[in-house]
Amino acid sequence: MRLALSILAACGFAFLTACGSGFSGSTNSTTPSIVVLSPNAGMADDFFITPGGTAPLSVAAISYTGSGAFNTVVPDVTYTWAARFVNPLTDPMSVATYLTGAAPNAFKSCPAKPESTPPVPILVQYGSGTPSSLYPSYTVLPSAATAIQVFVGPVPGVAAPYCLVVQATSVPGGVVGTATAIVSFSP
């Protein structure tokens, strides 16, 4: 009994409350409330893909719970990924515009949707999928596979400029994060 009391005193009440499931049930803190996409190179919200570039755009997802100053990163979340062409005539303005990059930041409208819109390949580095025709050390992410970070390049056979919307869906939770990328020789 004395040992048990010593352990409880050492852990502290805050620790016991945080442990949750052993004493009073727990809340599911692994389900995110928001998913944010960020390019790993350059500034946040600068999703720019150069046709004929030597490397695809790196896109990472991170999940949070809460809101405002009280949000917390949710660890160990993976994501399924999708990408499609943006249609500025039917997509909402939040999807059909993109940020031009470093200061001064400005929003521009996406160009018209290309006539030919083949599937947009989502790539991973050194994966076990189908090899990319544009980037030798990348493979196409299978549709049901999950990842935290993916890569997106220009779509083979489609002339720039055009916009792509990249989407990550959290597993677990099904929360969606999106970002618009411009494929162009200049933002």
Range name among 21-30, 81-90, 126-135, 143-152 with the lowest pLDDT average: 21-30
Q: How far apart are CA 28 and CA 150, in angstroms?
A: 27
Adjacency order of strands within the sheet including 48-49: 48-49, 176-183, 162-171, 78-85
Range name among 44-48, 55-59, 85-89, 156-160 with the lowest pLDDT average: 44-48
Residue % of the chain over a pLDDT of 90? 49
Please choose, from the candidates 2, 6, 8, 1, the residue with its C-alpha nearest in 3D space to the C-alpha of residue 22: 8
CATH topology assigned to domain 31-183: Immunoglobulin-like (2.60.40)
What pLDDT is stored for residue 40 in this prediction? 59
Q: Are 164 and 152 in contact (CB under 8 A)?
A: yes
Where in the chain are the domains? 1-28, 31-183
What pLDDT is stored for residue 29 in this prediction? 54
pLDDT band at 176 (very low <50, low <70, confident <90, very high): very high
What pLDDT is stored for residue 102 in this prediction? 64
| pLDDT at 121 exceeding the cut of 60 | yes
Instruction: State both tokens at 87.
Output: 């249609």
